[in-house]
Structures are given as C-alpha cells and as structure tokens.
Structure 1
Amino acid sequence: MSKVAPPNPLEMLAYNIAQMIEDDQIVYVGTGLPMVGAILAKKTHAPNITLVYESGGQDPLEGQMPWSVGCPFTYRKSPAVLEMAVSFGQCAIGYVDIAFQGGAQIDMYGNVNTSVIGSYENLKSILPGSGGGNDIGSLTQKSVLVGLQTPDRFPARVDFITTPGYLDGGDSREKAGLMGGPIAVVTQVGIYDFEPVTKRMRIKALNPGMSVEIAQACTGFELLVPDEVPFIEPPSDEVLEILRKEVDPRGVFIKMPAR
C-alpha cells in the first residue's frame, strides 16, 4: 500500500495541466496552477520545454515557486527578459506552442470573463480585466483554459467576453477573423474539449472518483457527453513527491484552503 497521500483536487488539476504539455514545446505560462503544472512537466516528462512567463521572463533557471507571473523568480538567470508586449508578440508570430490561462467565468463555448460579474447596470464584482488574456486567447493556436468548476463559474454565457473562445459556437470564431481557439478546459473535475462542429464544451475525461453526474452538477449548462467517458490515471507516488517537495513545497498553489 502506498504511503503517499492521494492527490487533492488542486494537485490533480496541476497534474492534468502538466500532462497537456509535450517535451520541446514553448509553453506560455499564466499565474497560479498553470505555473505549477508547467514546472511539474519540466521536472518529469518534458525536461526540454521553454517556459515563457507573461511578464517577459524567458525560461528562468530552477528556483522557488513564483507567486505570480510578475514575481522576480520568473526572471532568475533568464537568457532573456522581455517586455510584456513582446511576450504577447511571441504568441502572435507563432513562437508559442501551447498557452494556459484562467478566468472567473468560462462558458459553454470557451469564452472567458475576467472583467465584471453582473452587468454594467447591475455590477456585482469588478475583476482585474484582461491583462494578457485576450492576447493569449486571440493569438495562440492552442490555448488551454484552467478553472475551478462550479455552476456560477461555468455559466451558459459569461457576463462579459474578455477573451474570446468560440464566441457563439460553430464557425463564429473563424468569421471573426481569429485563428486557433481553446483546445481544452482543465478543472478539478476533469478535462473537457469542444465538439468540432458546434464548439460546445464536451467531457473528454474525468478525474478518479468523479462521475458525469458530478461534472454536470458543477456546471451551469448542459455538457456534451461521449458514449464512453474515460477516467484519468492518478499521478504516481514519484510524481506526487516531486510536486509536493520540489515544485511547490510551500503549498503556495496546491494546498487546499482551510475552511
């Protein structure tokens, strides 16, 4: 029997992010669990990836877990430190293979809201805004959305489109002149993709202990469900040890919040 505690939901989310990354890719990293997943990938199955941080740090040497993409740790002995606008330019000219971003709301078509909750006439919350979200979502060929899945965070339609996904579904993104689009959504419940024709969010695989019913209960719209739903293999004890002792030993992002 394993002496290593099973992964908590945040650790499982970080592990799933890592599994989206292939060796030798240039990876655009956002704040939070995307940083954890990217560093975990580099320490395990993808040692030759290049980490590009939103604020401009290019592939810093190994050090402490950054607090954000603007943390000094993201610049540690980097071969180059660029301005944020230049890092967005890397996306635009194709020097990014995969990008990760989060949001306060993600809807059935992969549109992301980081601007406001409610309407401008009836504001409930004012959020930080786009930052680099729109640039990442509009300019990269492959983006992965990351979020904690609850019905209010996964509504049928976001209150405000900060970063376009597939807009109204179908070919509406293409008609808007945007390339690519989100290829997946990673949450504590599992991994989702988008049905090729309608661009509706669809279950791709679920985490251990989850079910279609749980996934639907955590969502504010009807998920598309394939005939067979695979389950994701949990991380090995070795990977969990690396995650907990080497990647985020202080539990900055993978420690579950106390009640």
Structure 2
Amino acid sequence: MSVAPANPLEMLAYVVSRHIKDKQIVYVGTGLPMVGAILAKKTHAPNITLVYESGGQDPIEGPMPWSVADPVTWRKSPITMEMALSFAQAANGYVDVAFQGAAQVDMYGNLNTHIIGNDFLNPKARLTGSGGGNDLISLTENTVIVGLQTPEKFPAKLDFITSPGHLYGGNSRKEAGLLGNGPVAVITQIGVYDFEPVTKRMRIKSLHPGITVEIAQACTGFELLVPEGEIPVTETPPPDVLEVLRNEVDPQKIFIAFPPR
C-alpha cells in the first residue's frame, strides 16, 4: 500500500528529528519540536534524553502530550524538577540542543515573542513574552529555530528582541557574554537555513522540494544569503518513518494535521 507524501507540518517534524543525534540531551518545547523529538527517539536516536520545559526528564513512552505541561511529560520520569532547575541544566552545559519558535525571527536569529508593533505601551498585539525562550537561547549549546516563514514573521527588524540569537552579527553574541553557539539552524515550511560563519547572517542550506530561491526570498523580509553552486533539496521522510510519525508519534493528529485544526 502506498503512503501519502508528507504534508508541510509532517515535513517540518521530520526535518526537526534529523537535527537530533543519538545520545544527545534535547530540550523539548510544545508543538512540532516535541513531535520531531519523539520521532527521533522512535527512529534513529533511541538513546536521547528528552527534557521538557516544565521539568519532566525522559518520561516513559506514552501518548502525544498536548503541551510541555501535560502530565504525560512526567509519566514515570526518573526525575522531575522545577523550571528554574530545568533551565539550570542548560546553564551548566547539560543540554545539547533546544528547539524554539517565535512570532518574529530576524536575519541573525534573534527572536520576538513579546509584541507586534513599535509602541511597547500600545502594541498591535501583546504576545506571551519570554517564558523560557531567553534562557534557552542564551544558555544551551545549540538552538534550532522552528516556524512558518512569511515576510511578516521574518522581518528586516524585530518589533522587540525577546531572545538573543547572534545579536548584531559577527562576534557580538560572544562579546555579550552569552553561552553556547546560539542558533545553528532555522527550519520552516520553505527550507532549512544556517548562519554564515563570519557575519552570522541567515543563509539557505537546503530548500524543500518544489521551492526555489525566488520563493524563499519572497517569503522573507530581509535578504537571504545564497551559497554558491547548486542548492540541495531537503530530504523528505521515507515511507517507514512517515508510518511511525502518523501511527505511533501523533496518531490523533494533534500537531501534524494539515490544514492545522
């Protein structure tokens, strides 16, 4: 029996999973990062440790959590901790990779989860704020940004910097005293991006099937760096992995239903 191709959200979850290596400690956030992390554990990275933001440490296998505060994330965990101690894991170098989303992302991987609009006291929209976002991007060894890419979500200038990526480019992150490598990748429905080593500007790494540089640029409010030569096409999930994703990881389609519920 043939397997239907991956929808955009399933593609995102799969690419997230491929950014996880076996035996890593992975800080998991709500949504597709959670889906991708569980998929990685069920496929190519069975020995990872899942650390949930609410404090659950590597719970035993169960249903897909609705969020990082779902009791499933604590189910028979060897240890559960307060959020402050959970973030302290990152500060002490015990988190290899964390996944984050945001309302806005700029060319240096800085994130905005505070406001939309230029007037802080009278914004167009008031968002959730930092939560643990600033802690994670400031302290973990590596951060991967995950989200949907549009010119409004990827603007030339953020309305507010909540979580510092590579700040103003170059060595500005290190000079500010922040730990870790900062953002190392950005995953969207358009493609996968990294950051040019010297300038720290966002650069195309691969584009999903059918996507061109022109489409990627049209979905971005700043100029993307384009590498020389042919741009790779992002690997798509094989049928056996799609079966695991659909039937074992998120069978209720909480996060991978498309269009989203």
Instruction: Classify the TM-score, shorter chain.
Output: over 0.9
Unaligned runs of 5+ in 1: none
How many Å apart are 1:178 and its aligned residue? 1.0
Write the distance in 1 (CA, Å) between the matches of 2:233 and 2:61: 32
How many Å apart are 1:198 and its aligned residue? 0.8
Give the match for residue 167 of structure 1.
167
Give the match for residue 138 of structure 2.
138
Q: Given the two structures, how large is their TM-score scaled by the length of structure 2?
A: 0.96
* 2:256 aligned counterpart, secondary structure: coil
Cα-to-partner distance string for 1:56-96 (whole Å, 9 max, x where unaligned): 00000111111111111101110001111111000000111
How many Å apart are 1:137 and its aligned residue? 0.4
Write the distance in 2 (CA, Å) between the matches of 1:8 and 1:210: 14
Give the match for residue 176 of structure 1.
176
* 1:123 aligned counterpart, secondary structure: coil
How many Å apart are 1:121 and its aligned residue? 4.9
Give yes or no for the alignment of 1:216 onto 2:217. Answer: yes
Give the match for residue 152 of structure 2.
152
* 2:205 aligned counterpart, secondary structure: strand
How many Å apart are 1:206 and its aligned residue? 1.1
How many Å apart are 1:255 and its aligned residue? 0.6
Write the distance in 2 (CA, Å) between the matches of 1:171 and 1:156: 20
Equivalent position amino acid for 1:113 in 2: N
| Residue pairs, 1:1-259, within 5 angstroms | 3-119=2-118, 120-179=120-179, 180-227=181-228, 228-257=230-259
Write the distance in 1 (CA, Å) between the matches of 2:235 and 2:33: 20
Once the two structures are overlaid, the 10-residue window that deviates more, 226-235 or 115-124, is: 115-124
Write the distance in 2 (CA, Å) between the matches of 1:55 and 1:258: 25
Write the distance in 2 (CA, Å) between the matches of 1:247 and 1:19: 15
Percent identity, aligned pairs only, is: 70
Equivalent position amino acid for 1:4 in 2: V
* 1:18 aligned counterpart, secondary structure: helix
Paired residues, what number? 258
Write the distance in 1 (CA, Å) between the matches of 2:186 and 2:150: 13
Q: Given the two structures, how large is their TM-score scaled by the length of structure 1?
A: 0.97
Equivalent position amino acid for 2:144 in 1: V
Unaligned runs of 5+ in 2: none
Equivalent position amino acid for 2:202 in 1: M
Sort the Cα spacing of 1:41 and 1:112 in 2 relative to 1 into closer, same or farther, 3 A.
Answer: same
